[in-house]
Amino acid sequence: MKWMLSKRMMIAGGKNFARGGAVSAATVLIMTVTLAIIASLIFLSALLTYTLQTVSDKVDVSVYFVTTAAEADILAVKDQLQKLPQVASVSYTSADEALVAFRERHATDQLTLQALNELGGNPLDASLEVRAKNPSQYESIVKFLEASPVLSSGGTSIVDRINYAQNKEIIDRLSLAIQATREVGIAVIILFALASILIAFATVRLAIYTAKEEIAVMRLVGASNIYIQGPFVVTGVITGVIASLLVLLLLLPATWYASSKTAGWFGGFDVALYYSEHFALVFSILMFSGIFLGAVASVLAINKYLKV
């Protein structure tokens, strides 16, 4: 019995959509615009996340050791740091490697190279470059370095300096930027979600308005609310599904065009590549949004005509 009722509502919903003609087409068009906005938010969120991650990867804390520090003691510090839950990675640069890198950076600066040669030795320190999982965690890592007994060999500290003080302002600004971006992103998503519901509600209500007399007759002859609502909910779902598919198709040329025109603008973020790699995610979000908006808007819009 329930299956027959559901089947009738689905058939009726399909007929309502087909019978709607221009109104159904207009509803699909506006729903497509609504879902396109949601799709834009997905790509904007991905771009912001990628940009912030790229900037975060370029920020680190370097620990420089005295020239007399034994490599074994430095590697012991590295092992201790890698065990910290806040640490993402630790890389070791020996004094010799630092000297080679210095010479390569100043290959065209003969005055600097001449001064280095006159020293007759290697004045550069071995170092550890520490990257945190979150920029806000650098301070706790530095405190560990300053308090850790592993940093002493034979009662003498082997740490020359830590460049956290120089980078602290950049790290703090990055932390604030990440937090602000997330908060603004959530606010924008909520705002557009509400706007999408209102737009979908208005367009579906317009479609239902054309059938108000039919609804009134069904209500007067004793049809249940579910039986009346069902076909229009199905119509809303059909509208949402079609609009979702249209947006997914339009995103193919749109992302390809955007990728070809903005290559290099966003620090390596490829819109078309992101779409192809995350198609399942974008498909799920748009399809769910379309079905949800169509169904909810239909239920809200038809409630007015059930009060006869």
CA 49 to chain CA centroid, Å, is 5
Q: In 3D, which of 162, 158, 153 has the Cα closest to residue 67?
A: 158
State mean pLDDT over 133-138: 79
Confidence at residue 158, expressed as pLDDT on a 0 to 100 scale: 78
Confidence at residue 293, expressed as pLDDT on a 0 to 100 scale: 82
Domains and CATH numbers, the chain: 2-55+174-306 (no CATH), 67-157 (3.30.70.3040)
Which one has a higher pLDDT value, 71 or 214?
71
State mean pLDDT over 291-302: 79
The pair of three-digit structure tokens given for residue 109, joined into one six-digit string: 């600066």
Question: Letter for the amino acid at 211?
Answer: A
Helix axes 225-261, 2-20, angle to 10 degrees: 60
Q: Say how far apart CA 293 and CA 285 lie, in whole Å.
A: 12
Q: Cβ(127)–Cβ(93) under 8 Å?
A: yes
Task: Write out pLDDT tens, residues 146-170.
Answer: 776 555 556 667 777 888 766 667 7
In angstroms, the first-to-last Cα distance of the chain is: 27
State mean pLDDT over 24-34: 80
0.75 surpassed by pTM: no
- Given a cut of 70, whether residue 250 has pLDDT beyond it is yes
Q: What percent of the chain has pLDDT over 70?
A: 69
Residue 86 backbone dihedrals phi, psi, to 5 degrees? -80, -15
Confidence at residue 113, expressed as pLDDT on a 0 to 100 scale: 67
Q: What average pLDDT does the chain have?
A: 76
The pair of three-digit structure tokens given for residue 276, joined into one six-digit string: 């192809």
Confidence at residue 183, expressed as pLDDT on a 0 to 100 scale: 77
Q: Cβ(145)–Cβ(64) under 8 Å?
A: no
Confidence at residue 304, expressed as pLDDT on a 0 to 100 scale: 65
- Given a cut of 90, whether residue 296 has pLDDT beyond it is no
Q: Count the Cβ atoms, other than its own, within 10 Å of residue 48.
A: 18
